[in-house]
Amino acid sequence: MRVCILGKNLTSLTLAKALINKDIDVDLFFSNTKNNINHTRTLGISKSNVEFVNEHIVNIENILWKLNKIEIFTDQLKQEKLLNFEDNKDQLFSIIKNHQFCSLLERKLIKKKNFKKKSYNNKDVSLAQKYELIINCDIKNNITKKFFSKNIQKKYNSFAYTTIINHEKIVNDTATQIFTKQGPLAYLPISNLQTSVVYSVHNALNNKKEGIRDLIFKHNNKYKIKNISEIEFFELSSSNLRSYYYKNILAFGDLLHKVHPLAGQGFNMTLRDIKTLLEIIQKRTDLGLPIDSTIGIEFEKKTKHINFVFLNGIDFIHQFFNFERKTGNNFLSKSVQYLGKNNSLNKFFTKVADEGILI
């Protein structure tokens, strides 16, 4: 059985390696359009997803930076912690550089005989006739425009700025999220000497990078910063695809769902989708059933409602703190702070962040 995957990105490479490990032949098609590699982009991966990737896709232990504590602050409470999640025995979350993960997957895939990488014209839709199952991870090709253009989309009137700060050496095992007046700011450690920064800023700054540098320094009270790398930025939006499949074509990754980066759950949602897809394929293989267009039907049935609820949950968090930012009232933060002291609720929210919606 040979499956076609469209697009060359982290999702397509991860999915290709997962299928190869299931002894499924994979043709990965990518356009000749040159993609600029963003070396400041990082990903947060939950503990359960790290275990899943290590066991079923590729061992990433050597390129991870593990965190055992997450602290959340808000301008409304000054320097008081809003929430605190901690596990002294093991990691809560791990941070990985996007480009390092992609490079590792490419090195592993190129050695596999049942993997082929091919270039294609992304305006061509005839590929759909040559495979029993196509998985589309390319948000810009004509297949996407023709069959997967209907989605529920929301623009946040914000831009996400990403960079890496180089600082003096510290024990760097705690991620920090600050809900500032300009938007949520995250400090995500990637070593004892470097920390990734993701700042989701409302449009008022008009994309001024120097203003972002000033704000990073202003809200930093932990690191002795030596320098700040080049700042990259992209517009923020969320989306949820109305239909996950068309005939024998299954949409995947950011094409299915995009989420606000404040909770670091974007790629975690994709990994959970991959896990579900592998379970469907394994069950069919065990029963001697074909891997064909009906997989799209089953995949949508199992994942669409979960992704919808999770995506809207993240959006609710954004709206919650955005409302407080606009009103200037700290009543909501005080309430969250009080609830966060409840150990049972704290464990529940940690489990949801780790494993997704528990339904």
Q: Are the beta carbons of 28 and 9 closer than 8 angstroms?
A: no
Higher pLDDT, 62 or 330: 62
- Give the DSSP H or E segment for 219: helix 209-219
The model's pLDDT over 155-193, given as tens digits with 9 standing for 90+, comes to: 888 899 999 999 999 999 999 998 888 888 999 999 999
Quote the percentage of the chain above a pLDDT of 70: 84
237-286 confidence digits (pLDDT tens): 999 999 999 999 999 999 999 998 887 889 999 999 999 999 999 999 99
Domain 2-355: state its class.
alpha beta
Measured distance CA(51)–CA(62) in Å, rounded: 13
- Say yes or no to pLDDT of 98 above 80: yes
Instruction: Determine the pLDDT at residue 341.
Output: 67
Q: How far is CA 98 from CA 64, 116, 166, 190, 200, in A?
A: 11, 22, 18, 12, 18
pLDDT tens, 106-147?
999 999 999 999 888 776 667 767 888 999 999 988 899 999
For 307, the enclosing helix (H) or strand (E) is helix 294-327
Residue 227, both tokens: 């320098």
Is residue 23 exposed (0-12), middle (13-18) or buried (19+ Cβ within 10 Å)?
A: exposed
Max avg pLDDT among 54-58, 180-184, 218-222, 337-341: 54-58
The reported pLDDT for the residue numbered 275 is 97
Report percent pLDDT > 90 for the chain.
54
Residue 324 has pLDDT above 90, yes or no: no
Contact 260, 199 (CB under 8 A): no
Q: Write out 221-269 in H/E/C secondary structure.
A: CCCCEEEECCCEEEEEEEEEECCCEECCEEECHHHCEECCHHHCCHHHH
Tokens standing for residue 258: 């995009």
Structure tokens at 98: 């996007």
Confidence of residue 47 (pLDDT cuts 50, 70, 90): very high
How high is the pLDDT of residue 83?
Answer: 66
The pLDDT of residue 352: 65
Contact 222, 176 (CB under 8 A): yes
pLDDT of residue 18: 97
As a dihedral over the C-alpha atoms of residue 65, residue 43, residue 172, residue 56, rounded to 10 degrees, the angle is: -20
- pLDDT of 79 reads 63
pLDDT at 208 over 80: no
Question: What is the spatial distance between Cα 161 and Cα 235, in angstroms, rounded to a whole number?
Answer: 9
Per-residue confidence band for 318, with pLDDT thresholds at 50, 70 and 90: confident
Distance CA 95, CA 300 (A): 29
> What integer best gives the mean pLDDT of the chain?
86
Of residues 237, 307, 300, the one with CA closest to residue 271: 307
Give residues with Cβ within 8 angstroms of 208, minimum separation 6: none
Rounded CA-CA distance 254/261 in Å is 12
pLDDT of 75 > 60? The answer is yes
